[in-house]
Amino acid sequence: MQITGSIARPSAARIPWVTVGVWGGLLLLVLIAYARAPQATTAVLTSTIRQSTPIILGALAGIMCERSGVINIGIEGMMLLSAFLGFLFNVWTGDLFLATVGALLVGAAVGAFHALMSITLKVDQIIAGTVINILAVGLTGYFYQQGLTTRGKFSPVSIPVLADIPIIGPVFFSNPPITYASLILIVVIHVLLFRTAWGLRTRAVGEHPAAADTVGVAVNRVRYINVIVGGMLAGLAGAFLTLESVGSFERNMTNGRGFVSLAVMIFGKWTPFGAWGGSLLFGFANAMQSQIQFLKNQLPSWLAWIGDLPPQFIGMLPYVLTIAVLAGFVGRARPPAAIGKVYEKE
């Protein structure tokens, strides 16, 4: 198959100097903060990685779907259903690995349902995603029983030697398994999308499905595979919530993370590393609001007014930051050209 043109070249070839400058400034601030308060700085950075994990997994799910031309606003519902059933698998089996596999299969099943409605039955893709979200809230709310106790959650695993490196050691090399998996998946999906024939076919299907069809690409089959894989990634995000982060289930515990993932995906311009930057920003805001509430009585005098703010106001900061970034700093984002369009072979 020979497909040339803009879709064959990764857009990451140009150096984004503004982004490099922003992250360089943040790195300098981190080093200054670490010099003044190493323990608190490490706690914030570690929490940033943990808080960003379900966001980046949800964003990767969105990238997989939308790069192939299928809109998926049902990520929130996929996360919630997988979190609920992953929790139940853990209660029934007491095996965290089996519970994670169960959550992945649930995500795949919901992804297949979304693909069936969007690709085969040609239902409006926004409506299909909305149905999944409503269905997830209803099913988990109806079947959830209080009093169920889980049998533990994943614990952090420290990588010898690497975990002892100052600053980055505790942040990147002392995490539970799903957090490690999310970091690896960012690299894997980037390579798959921009360095393999499969990724080229996926992007071709998302940009110009008729052209891809003329060179022998099975458009709907590629879309089915991508949406199901996207569902599995959303399922892993749900598993993170109940099997690694909290260790139990609560109604509506995704708390809008699926929608934030979609915003982060657009912030990252449908690229894995761009989305990771957005998820780190959201995770950092979440980590800061937790740290402020935890240490509000120990803030220096010139920051004491922050401790007097209502907790509801501090709690909304990550979401306000997400809106501000999307509205003011993202610029023009160009989605895949065939996104949301049903393909019918002529």
Q: What is the pLDDT of residues 95-143, one digit of tens each?
A: 999 999 999 999 999 999 999 999 999 999 999 999 999 999 999 999 9
Domain count along the chain: 1
- Residue 89 or residue 328, greater confidence: 89
Whether residue 17 is contained in a domain is answered as: no
How big is the CA angle at 138 (ends 135 and 144), to the nearest 5 degrees?
Answer: 125
Q: Hey, how many other C-beta atoms are within 10 angstroms of the C-beta on 12?
A: 13
**pLDDT at residue 307 in the model:** 65
How big is the CA angle at 326 (ends 111 and 83), to the nearest 5 degrees?
Answer: 30
334: DSSP letter: -
Whether residue 22 is contained in a domain is answered as: no
Whether residue 75 is contained in a domain is answered as: yes
CATH code for the domain in which residue 310 is found: 1.10.3470
Whether residue 169 is contained in a domain is answered as: yes
Paired sense of beta strands 174-175 and 157-158, if any: antiparallel
- Joined tokens for residue 194: 């921009």
**pLDDT at residue 1 in the model:** 43
Q: How far is CA 113 from the centre of its chain?
A: 20
Q: Which domain holds residue 81?
A: 42-146+160-330
Where residue 33 falls among pLDDT bands split at 50, 70, 90? confident
**pLDDT at residue 282 in the model:** 85
Q: How far is CA 195 from the centre of its chain?
A: 22
Whether residue 27 is contained in a domain is answered as: no
pTM of the model: 0.87
Whether residue 15 is contained in a domain is answered as: no
Whether residue 214 is contained in a domain is answered as: yes
Taking each helix axis from N to C terminus, what angle separates 219-239 and 96-115, rounded to the nearest 10 degrees? 140
